[in-house]
Amino acid sequence: MALTGLEIFKLLPKTNCKKCGMPTCLAFAMQLAQKRAKLDSCPDVSEEAKNTLAAAAAPPMRKVVFGSGDHQVQIGQETVMFRHEEKFYSPTVLAATISDKLTGPDLQNRIKAINALRFERVGVRIGAGAIAVINDSGQADAFAAAAETAAQSSPFALILVSDSPQAMAAAVAKTAKFVPLIANATNDNAQEMAKIAKENKCPIVAKADSLESLCGLTEKIKSLGIEDIVLNLQTETLRDKLYNLSRMRVLSLKKVFRPLGYPTISFVAGDADQQAAAAVGLACKYSGVVALDTVEQYVFLPIATAVMNIFTDPQKPVQVEPKIYTVGEPDENSPVLFTTNFSLTYYTVESDVEASRVPSYILVVDTEGTSVLTAYSGDKLNEKIVADAMTKCNVQDLVKHRKLIIPGYVAVMSGKLEEATNWEVMVGPRESSMLPKYLKEVWK
Amino acid sequence: MPVPEVLESFAGSVNRITLGSTKDTGGSRTSTITVGGARNVVYAGSAEDAGEKPVIAIDIMDVPPEDWPDILIEPYKDVIKNPADWAKKAVNEFGADLICVKFDGIHPDKANKDAAAAVKVTEDVLKAVGVPLILWGCGNNEKDNQIIPKISEAAKGQNCLLGAAEQDNYKSITAVALADGHNLITEAPLDINIGKQVNILVSDMGFPLEKIVTFQDTGALGYGIEYSYSIQERQRLAALAGDKMMAMPAICDVGYEAWRVKEARLADAPGWGNVEDRGPMWEAATAICLLQAGADIIRMRHPRAVAAVKNFINQIWKRVSA
């Protein structure tokens, strides 16, 4: 938790020496509290004060990075419980598991299936972000071999899952340059696992079956010189898991309880549908990594979309690029509709036009990401803006006719728009859901 | 190592509301459903603070739907022309906690059915199943105001949930819900301020706040669910802070929204998985997402999605009241 100016003042030398450039130590403390000054400016500050201030300045939930290069992923550093309070920073990393019992073509096929868990959505790549190799075999050699193959044949960040320090050492020896996430350190093997993590500069997962024991474990790992820790709380039920994840989030963010100030990882089990359901819950409610034991695309697509949606910045309206979009394969006789570049508006219109099965052009007008009515009342949508957008997109060259379908909510701009464009304005429905009927019956 | 307590208690809670009326209270339902009652945000506090289990209402349509994709028609193909049989199947085979009869068929641009047809559907479904009903109009103000009073009257004394009162069309439905002893859905277009405003408007007409369920409009996964999600979370927080005008249980319309989008419908989509699995999963994922934000009643369609969501609910919520 950030310290107040007065709390900082108590830690300063109180000499009012002015060497920092401020008239008094109190003034300097106030500047520090507002992050307008750096502690380095004070030549006489004690080591103790430096440490206290550095600890207080650390984020309540640590950021942990694993994977290398383009495959690197980041979890943690969250600041709020609810996305509307600010935003969620690090989208949940989805992982697919792979057993080290698989060899040869089976191993390759599983990796291939995992590599196909990538989708493109509004120009953004979503899907799996990590591949979790599980030491089911209990053998160090098999684990190391599977880990190496996975690291080399998959574009995803690597998670190594074994409770055996021998197996972990063997696998990390083959994959250290990929910066794998080492899972799991437990109360029994913490010393050895921490050594592997430290020597290879990898983050580590702390696994325990109660919050109390988890806290003890993270403190122990920290004392061994490792700060990049991910929490794995084992619970009997999904209910316990979700309740505890919420509790851990409150403890780290609201109470700044350092032993739990790390991101989390969860493994889900069950049939594919159950895993999908659990994963959506875990992604929304505070698991930094969710590892699934399935490689079904129909499972990953909705979960990845949920992560994308929940982790969007609520302060920024999501916009689509203002341009001409086509639905189906429109020709010179197809209808032209316009709407705004607020993504929600556009996607609703797009999906309804698609449902009509009438090939169409949708002109997206730049209204700074506002909806039709908001844009109109804020003068971000008027006849001039629409006419300019039509010219810019060369709408006149796309179709032979000169008819423009406008949103029913801005019927009032018809006259001026006709004057500005010399196109015939057709007033569409107010509700986008009536577009299929409109396109089929009114537009012909 | 000792872990600090995070006890947080709130002044307010979500209203508890019971739908349906059995013989004892003058209705003909064989069971009732109670929703709401949460005293904390989802997953905070104790499992008891979570209130009643969220429930699933399976949609049945008064006329056979025209725009449903084949995979959604498939489970209902033998009953799709008969709302009563459809309702029975939804309850007996697919485990619907309640039935939502959606009267799209009365819309002037659709089948344009008259009051007599709508009343018959209501009566048939009431006879066919014993669970509580949601009776929901078509969204055309004029037609709803003409027909919902008749539907409401046909279900008088059954303590149904009637939808939906909107900011610019609430008087008629509020009056009949009051007269016929039903509960009321208040609807707002993804705008929490309008949501509150509609509640104020209907309560100004003397409608009891504890018989209202709010519908803040639903965005499907990938199509604005984050707006619904945050409004739902803010509504819950407002209820906990003691705002009586926001303390209602919430209903979400997942079935309609999820099955509109291409991810649920598109058969030919390489790299997205089989549409037979993907469609139901899109619906289930939309529902589960909204459960994280505090939805109490979820309208759904596909039996496989219903099963996945019920399974999730049963793992998380304990049933509180009898």
pLDDT tens digits, residue range A390-415? 999 999 999 999 999 999 999 999 99
- Whether residue B315 and residue A237 make contact (CB cut-off 8 A), yes or no, is yes
The 10s digit of each residue's pLDDT in B272-297 is 999 999 999 999 999 999 999 999 99
- The per-residue pLDDT for B321 is 61
Residue B321 lies inside a defined structural domain of this protein? no
Domain end point (choices A57, A83, A98):
A57
Using alpha carbons, select from B159, B262, B268, B172 the residue that is nearest to residue B213. B159
* Mean pLDDT over the full length of chain B: 95
Distance, in Å, from the CA atom of B56 to the CA atom of A442, rounded to the nearest integer, reads 38
Q: How many residues appear in chain B?
A: 322
CATH number for the domain including B243? Answer: 3.20.20.20
**Closest residue to B6, CB basis, from A245, A251, A297:** A251
Q: Of A280, A310, A340, which marks where a domain is finished?
A: A310
Same domain, A192 and A105: yes
With an 8 Å Cβ cutoff, is A310 touching chain B? yes
Q: Quick check: helix, strand or coil at residue B300?
A: strand
**Quick check: is B132 in a domain?**
yes
Give A-chain residues touching B282 at CB under 8 angstroms.
302
CATH, residue A403: 3.40.50.11600
Take residue B170 and report the two structure tokens written for it.
């609430």
Does the distance separating the beta carbons of A243 and B262 come in below 8 Å?
no
Chain-centroid distance, C-alpha B249: 10
Rounded to a whole number, what is the distance in angstroms from the first to the last CA of chain B? 39
Q: How confident is the model at residue A47 (pLDDT cuts 50, 70, 90)?
A: confident
Are A247 and A386 in a shared domain? Answer: no
Tell me which of A373-377, B173-177, B211-215 is least confident: A373-377
Same domain, A423 and A294: no
Domain boundary among A57, A79, A95: A57
- A355 pLDDT above the threshold of 90: no
**CB-defined contacts A:B, below 8 A:** 166
| Tokens 């598109």 sit on residue | B266
Q: Are residues A87 and A205 in the same domain?
A: yes
Looking at residue B93, what is its pLDDT?
Answer: 98
Burial class, A406, CB count within 10 angstroms (exposed 0-12 / middle 13-18 / buried 19+)? buried
pLDDT per position as a tens digit, B226-278: 999 999 999 999 999 999 999 999 999 999 999 988 899 989 899 999 999 99
Q: Which of residues 108-137 of A touch B (CB under 8 A)?
A: 116, 119, 121
Average pLDDT, chain A: 93
Per the structure, the complete domain to which residue A362 belongs is given by 324-441
Domain identity same for A67 and A152: yes
Nearest-Å Rg of the Cα atoms of chain A is 28
Q: What is the pLDDT of residues B64-99, one digit of tens each?
A: 999 899 999 999 999 999 999 999 999 999 999 999
User: Which residues lie below 8 Å from residue B6, measured CB to CB, with a gap of 6+?
Assistant: A247, A250, A251, A254, A255, B44
Interface test with B, best of A80, A84, A218 (most B CBs within 10 A): A84
Do A39 and A69 belong together in one domain? no
Nearest to B233 among A84, A303, A348 (CB): A84
Q: Do A298 and B272 touch (CB under 8 A)?
A: yes
How far is the alpha carbon of B26 from chain A, nearest alpha carbon, in Å? 38
* Residue A265: pLDDT over 50: yes
- Other beta carbons within 10 Å of B169: 18
Q: Which of A216, A285, A354 lies at the smallest CB-CB distance from B292? A: A285
Asked whether residue B161 is domain-assigned, the answer is yes
CATH number at A123 reads 3.20.20.20
Q: How many structural domains are present in chain B?
A: 1
* Same domain as A101, residue A147: yes
> A309 and B307 in contact by Cβ < 8 A?
no
Token reading at A112:
């291939």
In this structure, is the dihedral angle defined by the CA atoms of residues B147, B149, B155 and B158, taken in order, positive or negative? positive
Judged by a CB distance cut-off of 8 A, whether residue A243 touches chain B is: yes
Are A129 and A269 in a shared domain?
Answer: yes
Range with lowest mean pLDDT among A49-53, A284-288, A371-375, A420-424 = A49-53
- The DSSP line for B70-108 is HHHHGGGTTTTT-HHHHHHHHHHTT--SEEEEE-GGG-T
Q: Name residue A204's beta-bridge partners.
A: A182, A229
Residue A315 included in any domain? no
Helix (H) or strand (E) holding B192: helix B192-204
What does the H/E/C string look like for chain A? CCCCHHHHHHHCCCCCCCCCCCCCHHHHHHHHHCCCCCHHHCCCCCHHHHHHHHHHHCCCCCEEEECCHHHCEEEECCCCCCHHHCCCCCCCEEEEEEECCCCHHHHHHHHHHHHCCEEEECCEEEEEEEEEEECCCCCHHHHHHHHHHHHHHCCCEEEEECCCHHHHHHHHHHHHHHCCEEEEECCCCHHHHHHHHHHHCCCEEEEECCHHHHHHHHHHHHHCCCCCEEEEECCCCHHHHHHHHHHHHHHHHCCCCHHHCCCEEEEECCCHHHHHHHHHHHHHCCCCEEEECCCCHHHHHHHHHHHHHHCCCCCCCCECCCCEEEECCCCCCCCEEEEECEHHHHHHHHHHHHHHCCCEEEEEECCCCCCHHHHHHCCCCCHHHHHHHHHHCCHHHHCCCCEEEECHHHHHHHHHHHHHHCCEEEECCCCHHHHHHHHHHCCC
List chain B residues with CB under 8 Å of A190.
none
Residue B226: phi and psi, rounded to 5, are -65, -30
Do the Cβ atoms of B289 and A301 come within 8 Å? no
Same-domain status, A112 and A256: yes
The answer to whether position B176 is within a domain reads: yes
Please tell me which of the candidates A301, A308, A310 has its beta carbon nearest to residue B278.
A301
What's the pLDDT score for residue A121? 84
Q: Which CATH number is A22's domain given?
A: 1.10.15.40
Pick B3's closest partner by Cβ from A83, A211, A436. A211
- Rounded to two decimals, what is the model's pTM? 0.88
Nearest to A309 among B1, B225, B316 (CB): B225
CA distance B263 to A289: 24
Do the chains contact at A284 and B289, CB–CB below 8 Å?
Answer: yes
The answer to whether residue A2 scores a pLDDT higher than 80 is: no
Q: How far apart are CA B79 and CA A5, in angstroms?
A: 71
Give domain status of residue B5, yes or no: no
Q: Please give, rounded to a whole number of angstroms, the shortest distance from the CA of B223 to a CA of chain A.
A: 6
For residue B262, give its domain range: 17-316
Please name which of A251, A303, A298, A253 lies closest in space to residue A282, comparing C-alpha atoms: A303
Position B168 in a domain: yes
Examine the domain organization and report whether A69 and A51 are in the same domain.
no
Give the pLDDT of residue B320: 65
Q: Is B151 exposed, middle or buried (0-12, 13-18, 19+ CB in 10 A)?
A: buried
**Distance of alpha carbon B221 from alpha carbon B147, whole angstroms:** 32
**Based on the domain organization, do A31 and A67 belong to the same domain?**
no
**Tens digits of residue pLDDT in A409-444:** 999 999 999 999 999 999 999 888 889 999 999 987
Q: Measured between CA atoms, how close is B311 to chain A, in angstroms? A: 8
Residue A54 CB partners (closer than 8 Å, separation 6+): none
Angstrom CA distances, A376 to A314, A382, A426, stand at: 22, 7, 17
- State yes or no: pLDDT of A247 exceeds 90: yes
**Digit-coded pLDDT (tens) for A92-151:** 999 999 999 999 999 999 999 999 999 988 778 999 999 999 999 999 999 999 999 999
Q: Write the Ramachandran bin of B273: left for phi over 0, alpha for psi from -120 to 50, otherwise beta.
A: left
**8 Å CB contact between A146 and A102:** yes
pLDDT greater at residue A34 or residue A209: A209
In a domain, A318, yes or no: no
B58 or B9, which is more confident? B58
Cα–Cα separations (whole angstroms), residue A153 to A70, A115, A173, B228:
14, 9, 17, 39
Cis before A200? omega within 30: no
CA dist., res. B205 & res. A317, Å (int)? 36
Tell me if A35 is assigned to some domain.
Answer: yes
Q: Which of B225, B226, B233, B272 to mutate to test the interface with A (most CBs of A within 10 A)?
A: B226
Please count the structural domains in chain A.
3
- A307-342 per-position pLDDT tens digit: 999 999 998 877 888 999 999 999 999 999 999 998
Rg, C-alpha atoms of chain B: 19
Task: State the pLDDT at residue B322.
Answer: 45
Give the up-direction half-sphere exposure of residue A400: CA atoms within 13 A in the CB hemisphere. Answer: 3
Please give the ipTM for the structure prediction: 0.96
Tell me which of B315, B317, B318, B319 to substitute to probe the interface with A (most A C-beta atoms closer than 10 Å). Answer: B315
Whether A46 maps to a domain, the answer reads: yes
Q: By CA distance, what is B291's nearest residue in A?
A: A281
Quick check: A165 and A196 in contact, CB under 8 A? yes
Instruction: Identify whether A103 is part of a domain.
Output: yes
- Among the partner-chain residues B3, B223, B237, the one whose CB lies closest to the CB of A351 is B223
- For B203, counting Cβ atoms within 10 Å of its Cβ (0-12 exposed, 13-18 middle, 19+ buried), the class is middle
The two three-digit tokens of residue B120, written as one number: 């018959």
B265 occurs within a structural domain: yes
Q: Which residues of B touch A278 (CB under 8 A)?
A: 312
Q: Is residue B9 part of a domain?
A: no
Q: Are residues A237 and A352 both part of a single domain? A: no
| Pairing state between β A324-327 and A118-121 | unpaired
Tokens representing residue B303 in the block? 């039996």
For residue B318, pLDDT over 80 is answered with yes
